[in-house]
């Protein structure tokens, strides 16, 4: 059996170098590439065709379509009864409040007594005139006496008529002691209390919304007035995020010289949650169109203008310039830029640079892969 020759110094060094090379190769095979190690997770969405409400989103205050202010017709009388409160629905002619009428009733009784007295006197004068009728030019009674009797009868009847007019006027005043609703609708404000004296209030006793109709009085920019006309449908969002379908009823013929805004009245359905004085905003359904759009957060702005960060097939970013258009519901129209279906970073923050390697994390609300 042959004895193996002892390994030389150079042979041992070569063997160790070979082993080290093999170990490094094995480690390199197991380790991921540097680019994959540096990839960051990023929320992405696709450029998609999305309806945008013409870019016109208005806001304003909810007001009655026809606000009715109600005041008493008479002054100087104390309120004795209140029949309604804020939030009550009333019909035309329904009593709202009543004033103390005891003084007027006493005055009416006095006028009626005077009227009765005048009627009795007129009846007596008429009898006297009737007894001498037909005796003209007969020499029985002087013509002057005949005329005096006829005049006394006429004057007595005129006095009766005047007194009855005073009675009717007093009866009318007495009827107006009850304040009634001039229209049917909703009582939205009550500014009177028991014991108040009529005629001294600076505000109307009651404010009503005729038929309970509340509408949105919205501001629209002068440049958008050309798109507005009665009949345009609108989606109105209330302060509590609930919505209602509305229709443009009136477009203001004038524009404020300072703000360059005009008014648009949007009719709304009669609902308990649509309250006068509330805030609401509206987008216009009939002006809606489907356009290539992305979330507003996906557009970044720098010295070169607007752009989006596009995620390529290799998951690397590239910066693509865009031109934006109308906005609505958190989205912005892309007039130029990547076509629909392109994957872009949902929040194009400044920390992302062209060439960065990313791991897409799809936003649930947007279209996924």
- My answer on whether 293 and 336 are in the same domain is yes
- My answer on whether 204 and 329 are in the same domain is no
Q: Considering the domain boundaries, does residue 167 fall inside one?
A: yes
- My answer on whether 305 and 196 are in the same domain is no
- My answer on whether 277 and 329 are in the same domain is no
- My answer on whether 95 and 182 are in the same domain is yes
Residue 85's domain comprises 68-99+177-208
Q: Considering the domain boundaries, does residue 340 fall inside one?
A: yes
What CATH number does the domain containing 246 carry? 2.40.30.170
What CATH number does the domain containing 296 carry? 2.40.420.20
Half-sphere exposure of 353 (CA within 13 A, CB side): 2
Q: Considering the domain boundaries, does residue 7 fall inside one?
A: no
Q: What is the pLDDT of residue 277?
A: 94
- My answer on whether 153 and 116 are in the same domain is yes
- My answer on whether 144 and 78 are in the same domain is no
Question: Which regions of the chain are under pLDDT 70?
Answer: 1-38, 53-55, 131-144, 146, 288, 349-350, 364-369
What CATH number does the domain containing 89 carry? 2.40.50.100
Q: How many domains does the chain have?
A: 4
The model carries a pTM of 0.61
- My answer on whether 324 and 302 are in the same domain is yes
Q: Considering the domain boundaries, does residue 12 fall inside one?
A: no
- My answer on whether 263 and 329 are in the same domain is no
Q: What is the pLDDT of residue 4?
A: 45
- My answer on whether 76 and 45 are in the same domain is no
- My answer on whether 272 and 295 are in the same domain is no
Q: What is the pLDDT of residue 134?
A: 58
Q: Which of 232, 266, 287 is the last residue of a domain?
A: 287
Q: Considering the domain boundaries, does residue 325 fall inside one?
A: yes
Q: Considering the domain boundaries, does residue 5 fall inside one?
A: no
Q: Which of 287, 315, 339 is the last residue of a domain?
A: 287
Nearest to 309 by CA among 347, 273, 264, 254: 347
Q: Considering the domain boundaries, does residue 26 fall inside one?
A: no
- My answer on whether 316 and 221 are in the same domain is no
Q: What is the pLDDT of residue 272?
A: 92
Tens-digit pLDDT profile for residues 229-239: 899 999 999 99
């Amino acid at each position: 059996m042959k004895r193996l020759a002892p390994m030389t110094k150079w042979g041992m060094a070569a063997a160790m170098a070979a082993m080290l090379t093999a170990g490094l190769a094995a480690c390199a095979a197991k380790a991921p590439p540097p680019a994959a190690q540096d990839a960051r997770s990023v929320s992405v969405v696709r450029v998609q065709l999305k309806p945008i409400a013409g870019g016109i989103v208005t806001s304003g205050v909810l007001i009655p379509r026809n606000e009715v202010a109600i005041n008493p017709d008479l002054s100087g009388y104390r309120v004795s009864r209140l029949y309604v409160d804020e939030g009550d629905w009333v019909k035309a002619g329904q009593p709202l409040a009543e004033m103390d009428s005891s003084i007027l009733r006493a005055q009416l009784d006095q006028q009626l007594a005077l009227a009765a007295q005048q009627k009795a006197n007129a009846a007596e004068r008429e009898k006297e005139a009737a007894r001498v009728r037909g005796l003209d030019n007969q020499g029985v009674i002087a013509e002057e006496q005949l005329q005096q009797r006829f005049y006394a009868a006429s004057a007595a009847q005129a006095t009766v008529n005047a007194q009855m007019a005073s009675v009717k006027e007093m009866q009318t005043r007495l009827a107006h002691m009850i304040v009634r609703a001039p229209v049917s609708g909703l009582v939205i404000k009550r500014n009177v209390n028991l014991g108040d004296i009529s005629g001294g209030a600076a505000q109307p006793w009651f404010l009503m919304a005729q038929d309970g109709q509340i509408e949105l009085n919205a501001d629209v920019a002068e440049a958008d007035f050309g798109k507005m006309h009665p009949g345009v449908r609108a989606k109105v969002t209330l302060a509590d995020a609930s919505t209602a379908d509305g229709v443009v009823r009136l477009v203001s013929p004038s524009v404020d010289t300072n703000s360059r805004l005009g008014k648009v009245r949007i009719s709304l359905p009669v609902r308990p949650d649509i309250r006068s004085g509330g805030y609401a905003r509206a987008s216009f359904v009939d002006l809606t169109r489907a356009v290539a759009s992305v979330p507003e957060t996906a557009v970044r702005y720098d010295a070169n203008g607007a752009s989006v960060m596009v995620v390529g097939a290799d998951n690397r970013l590239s910066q693509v310039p865009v031109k934006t258009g109308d906005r609505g519901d958190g989205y912005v129209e892309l007039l130029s830029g990547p076509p629909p279906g392109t994957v872009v970073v949902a929040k194009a923050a400044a920390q992302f640079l062209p060439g960065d390697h990313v791991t897409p994390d799809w936003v649930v609300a947007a279209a996924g892969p």
